[in-house]
Chains A and B, each alone.
Chain A
Amino acid sequence: MEGTRVALLAALFACLSPCLSAEGGPTPASQKALLDRYCVGCHSAKLKTGGVVLEGIDLTHAGNHAEVLEKVIRKLQTGEMPPPGLPRPDAATYTTLAKWIEDSIDRYSAANPNPGRPVIHRLNRSEYSDTIRDLLALDTKPGALLPVDDSGFGFDNIGDVLSVSPALLERYMSAARRISRMAVGEPGMKPTEEEFSARTLGMRTTRNERVSDDLPFDSRGGMAFEYYFPVDAEYQIRIKLNGGDSAGNATPYEIRMPVKAGLRTVGVDFLRDSTKPEIIPTAGGRRGGGGAAPPGGAGRGAKPLTAEMDLRIDGAKIKRFEPTEGFGFPQVDRVIIDGPYNPTSAGDTPSREKVFVCRPPAGGKDDDPCARMILTNLAHRAFRRPVADTDVQPLMAFYKQGKQDAGFDMGIEKALRAMLVSPDFVFRIERDPAGKAPGTVYRIGDVELASRLSYFLWSSMPDQTLQDLAEKGKLKDPAVLAQQVRRMLDDPRSQSLVDNFISQWLTLRNIALAKPDPDAFPEFDESLRQAFNTETELFTQNIIREDRPVTELLDANYTFLNERLAQHYGINNIYGSQFRKVTLTDPNRGGLLGQGSILTVTSYPNRTSVVQRGKWILENLLGSPPPPPPPDIPDLKPTSHDGHQLTIREAMQQHRANPVCASCHVRMDPLGFAMENYDGVGKWRTKEAGTEIDPSGKMPDGSSFRGPAELKKSLLASHRDEYLTTLTSKLLTYALGRGLEYYDMPAVRSITRQAAKDDYRVSALVTAIVQSTPFQMRRIPEE
């Protein structure tokens, strides 16, 4: 007895010092003991469950096992492991384990940074368009004519996946030709025809409202678009309406007129008063229905009603037509622009201003110095780095050839054309410094950093300010860098974060492809689709502009509405087609999960999908996508054996009954059920299939909620960290243009911690990313 007591005391003492180290905190030994006790049973070297082996890991050198330990951290954070039913430590120990492993790895990573290495990065379509816009003041979106880019990790700016094919190179060459011609303004251009369709532009509407900000307040219908008139010349503009006369011919409404070169807004609209429905019904007739081919007996014998149609350029009325089609409700089908004819001069366009930084002296001799100046300036900007004689010499050769053919301007055009297909332009190239050993980690130069920064925040080239700072080496100063980030976020070009990052992260590009069934959702039309897009765009743009915390994306109490959308959401007293910020009183709406865009994109054409919505949340907000389903899943049966309509919840009961299904569906379905009050196009409903909807959901970790408002609260309460980590990871992927690896996780954690200091505001998150190891550094590969 005495012996055992001593032994016990001795054991206690022996335990005391390591156990009491750091005030009784965790140690490598104690944490390893946890792993051995709760994990190695399955994850042994012999069984290798799930491909993960935790036996024999040396936690004193956690950094050496970062890859597998990151997986452990993930599972601990989501609470998935050990699997439900198997023993696990108490909550405090559990959390401590996760945190301890994280800290160990972070410590190791701070001492041994691994920034990875993005592959040389080809400009994607939108980057190409935006770079041309900023280089040459030519906003004609030439990227739209390039083949569609492949995407990876959810984004289309991933260097590894952006390949070059002969078809792509051909398109680059023809695009370069077109662009250089328009930028320089070649008077010898042959006329071409270009067609703009109202439907493709999303301006086809059956509603009697103003369709575009570029058209006057008192207008109805029509269409507006931007067109680049390449040179001062005559252009023929033709308007084609829907319907036409009884022979099916559409009378062309046209005008041929001189227009000065430049990007102009061309608009066609109808005057409001003239299109008021004051048609007197005749025998067999009915009120004119917006432009469709008139029904047989309607209006025969009645005098056709004229509308007043205005053609506008840059808002100014050029000509008024009086079409008789459409019985007072004509609709524009398309506008065709033909030209240039009889060009008078190259014109005075902003792009000529950018290109011609000097003019050659009169006389046609001594042109070369000015040409050299022009081309050096262009190459400097186009290649996004200082240029040397080796860069400019070959361009001068093109210039000389072109000048011989058709003069100074043509010479510059030819050189520009070559520049635009050079790999220096089309690729973002980062070069390793010479003489460094493989495996070395170094900070990239300022010039390269400037490119990374501008393509991250603007999807385009650095502007003069940024480039100057970079070339002077000032970007090394963190204060200067932070200031530039703020400036760039405030700049209108940061719209690209909405157009490219947000739209891909939230899978919003699928809105354009959604086809809700007209029988199930008769109220869905093109103007609602547009409204969905605009709402989410304005909402996210506002978060960025106003530098709001990113959590507000989920729990905002406001949104942006116009009359159409407000009606759809059941919100009263919103009039007019303009969007405006509206404070919401209903806690269910508000935030991304209450927006029609996301609700429609996660539904089937004729009904909601609980699973798709759950999956969307798991994948895009919580970063834990479910694995793909097994093949041959049967369709939902909408009626039970006795023929009564089943609710979705009833129909999906297999997900809960069958354990194979349940393993994944317990995480997805509750989230989707909570959103069931929103139908397949985002409208609020209380009944489905004749029964009251039950919007309750219970997650495997015990949290439960009823309806969207509580779901949002719960997400931000219990899953805030996952949301923030997911957003950070996605934004970092987009910023780096490569997928994230296990060695990037310390950076993700450090960025999130940093952003926390400023309430997770957008600028804080972006600045933290810009200052992070993978963004600022590179690693020389071991060949």
Chain B
Amino acid sequence: MIVTKKALARRTFLRGLGTTLAIPFLDAMVPALKAGTTAKASVRTAFVYVPNGIIMKDWTPAAEGAGYEFMPAMKALEPFRENMLVLSGLAQVNGRALGDGAGDHARAGATWLTGVHPKKTEVAIHAGISADQMLARELGKQTQLGSLEVGLESPSLAGDCDSGYSCAYTNTISWRNPTTPMPVEVNPRAVFERMFGDGESTDAVARLASMKEQSSILDYIRGDVARLSNGLGGSDRNKLDQYLEAIRDIERRIQKAEEQNATMKMPVMERPTGIPDEFEDHAHLMMDLQVLAFQADMTRVISFMMAREGSNRSYRSIGITDGHHSVTHHMNDPEKIAKTAKINTHHVETFAYFINKLKSTPDGDGTLLDHSQILYGSSISDGNAHTHHDLPIALIGGAAGRIKGGRHVRYPKETPLNNLLLTMMDHTGVRIDQLGDSTGELKLLSI
């Protein structure tokens, strides 16, 4: 399963992890909400992002309703026709300039899950709260990790990233609150360690012991922060407050882990050693980890950036040496359009691995895919013109019976994407009145 090593000696496998537990699927994997109740399986949510838009003529099906023909870009998802909805006509109008001039990529990244027009600044960043973090606040009370933010492209280096906007806006799509962007982890090893701790072993007893240690350290830090906060100015105290919040987060997680430890058996996986060289290998490894996270109910909320917004990486493995961003500014040159289309297709093919894995993983009375809702798309539709309406959006999964797939649904022009986000949140039981520029829930997802 781990692609960094080809011929893996069994001894090495065991050595790296101490004791490992082989595991047939156990019902204990289904998080029991209350003892004795046969609760409906909890809904997992993932937001998967691709940057720089998509060649829409290769994406949008011609017909609406059921039985539509799969367009070239999304061909790889055809085996999952009955599990997915293609949604057209949604928009993030707050990604438009609205008087701020250039910077569509920054705005795209900042609005996709928030629907809030971000402040044009390099330093004093201000966006909105993202849907995944709203979910994490609630659902995180029941899982060890509130949410996972993962990606495949390292955050951008120093400098402003898009016409005067901070790099924070393109590096992430996940915002804990309007001023705290969530960092995106690209190293599979780090993601693994976040889920299972840095112990070499996933053994339950050892993990519990290490968690107790962590608790006492957290108590110590908290005391220290309290002491230090005296005599500090307001903005300084805010920084320390971030530290306190982080502490609370981890403590909550420890508590959760202790509760779940009794019944949970950790599925087996070897700790990855680092970032694989090839894009596909990297993507597969990250997706394996995400499936694992859902499977073990470590978290029910994931956001996954297949590349940074505004990404200019090349995709040599499919023969594209130009930068992605560069070819999306095709100015109607057919060669560049073809290259962009190739990248779009490659992304979807890679993504299909994730869906396939979810479909083949049993979960309670169905599969993980039945109990998940995966949003795939971008916050820009035409990468050449930087448009933020009629976005490429697909919703895959059953959300425990709340989504009926197999259709292409077209919504009225400029229906807010946030309406979809609101509805997705409702599917998990998290009901709020409004998020960003939402105007209500989206109909037609379940008929």
Interface residues of A (CB under 8 A from B): 117, 119-120, 122, 145, 147-148, 150-156, 158-161, 163-171, 173-174, 177-178, 190-195, 197, 199-200, 248-250, 338, 390, 394, 398, 401, 414, 417-418, 421-424, 427, 429, 431-432, 434, 504, 507, 509-510, 513, 515, 517-519, 604-606, 628-632, 634-635, 739, 780-781, 783
Contacts and interface: CB of A to CB of B under 8 A. Distances in A.
B6 interface: yes
A169 B247 contact: yes
A155 to B, nearest CB: 6
B242 A165 contact: yes
Interface in B160-194: 163-164, 166-168, 171, 176, 180-183, 185, 187, 190, 193-194
Contacts of B233: 117, 432, 780-781, 783
A629 B168 contact: no
B331 A167 contact: no
Given A193-B273, A417-B217, A628-B164, A165 B158 contact: no
Contact of A154 (B158, B182, B228, B326): B158
A198 B6 CA distance: 17
A423 B16 contact: no
Nearest to A394: B220
B246 interface: yes
Interface of B: 4, 6-7, 12, 15-16, 18, 97, 101-104, 122-124, 146, 149, 154-155, 157-159, 163-164, 166-168, 171, 176, 180-183, 185, 187, 190, 193-194, 197-198, 200-201, 213-214, 216-217, 220-221, 223-225, 227-228, 231-236, 239-240, 242-243, 245-247, 249-250, 273-274, 277, 314, 321-323, 326, 329, 331, 333, 385-386
Contacts of A739: 123
Nearest to B123: A152
B106 to A, nearest CB: 11
A589 to B, nearest CB: 27
A498 to B, nearest CB: 15
Contact of B16 (A192, A507, A628, A781): A192
Nearest to A195: B273
B411 to A, nearest CB: 26
Given A165-B180, A249-B7, A628-B103, A160 B220 contact: no
A168 B201 CA distance: 22
6 nearest A-B residue pairs (beta carbon): A628-B163, A166-B249, A169-B246, A174-B198, A147-B183, A120-B236
A150 B322 contact: no
Given A418-B217, A509-B158, A193 B231 contact: no
A193 B12 contact: yes
B216 A401 contact: yes
Contact of B183 (A165, A401, A635): A165
A277 B160 CA distance: 50
Contacts of A171: 190
Nearest to A738: B123
A195 B157 CA distance: 25
A84 to B, nearest CB: 23
Most buried by B among A170, A390, A414: A170
Contact of A429 (B167, B228, B273, B333): B228
B424 to A, nearest CB: 23
A629 B102 contact: yes
Nearest to B182: A165
A168 B386 contact: no
10 contacts: A117-B233, A156-B158, A166-B246, A423-B225, A431-B231, A515-B323, A518-B321, A628-B101, A630-B102, A635-B333
Among B123, B227, B234, the most chain A Cβ lie within 10 Å of the Cβ of: B123
Given A119-B239, A193-B15, A168 B277 contact: no
Given A165-B182, A169-B243, A422-B221, A195 B274 contact: yes
A418 B220 contact: yes
A224 B240 CA distance: 41
Contacts of A200: 274
A781 B159 CA distance: 29
A150 B331 contact: no
B361 to A, nearest CB: 26
Contact of A163 (B236, B242, B277, B321): B242
Give the residue among A167, A194, A519 with the most B Cβ atoms within 10 A.
Answer: A167
B337 to A, nearest CB: 13
Contacts of A390: 227
A700 B103 CA distance: 28
B159 A165 contact: no
Contact of A168 (B104, B124, B246): B246
Contact of B6 (A158, A192, A248, A606): A248
Contacts of A165: 176, 180, 182-183, 242, 246
A225 B306 CA distance: 31
B239 A164 contact: yes
A170 B122 contact: no
B382 to A, nearest CB: 11
| Best-buried of B15, B104, B193, B217 by chain A (most CB within 10 Å) | B217
A192 B323 contact: no
Contact of B243 (A156, A193, A423, A631): A423
Contact of B250 (A154, A170, A192, A517): A170
A365 B323 CA distance: 66
Contacts of B193: 174
Given A160-B235, A427-B239, 9 more contacts: A122-B239, A148-B154, A148-B155, A250-B7, A417-B217, A423-B225, A424-B224, A605-B322, A632-B386
A432 B236 CA distance: 11
A524 B4 CA distance: 27
Contacts of B180: 163, 165
Contact of A190 (B101, B194, B201, B240): B201
Nearest to B162: A628
Contacts of B7: 249-250
B323 A394 contact: no
B123 A153 contact: yes
A190 B180 CA distance: 37
Contacts of A394: 220, 223-224
Nearest to B333: A635
Contacts of B198: 174, 177-178
Contact of A150 (B124, B166, B187, B221): B166
Contacts of A338: 12, 15
Contacts of A156: 158
Contacts of A510: 157
Contacts of B240: 120, 423, 427
Contacts of A160: 123-124, 235
Nearest to B246: A169
B183 A167 contact: yes
Nearest to B323: A605
A635 B227 contact: no
A153 B124 contact: no
B214 A173 contact: yes
Given A165-B183, A192-B16, A631-B97, A422 B200 contact: no
A763 B217 CA distance: 43
Nearest to B384: A632
Nearest to B102: A628
Interface centre among A169, A429, A432, A606 (most CB of B within 10 A): A169
A567 B274 CA distance: 36
B136 to A, nearest CB: 10
Contacts of B122: 152-153
A174 B225 CA distance: 19
A125 B329 CA distance: 35
A70 to B, nearest CB: 19
B200 A167 contact: no
Contacts of A194: 273
Contacts of B245: 166
B4 A145 contact: no
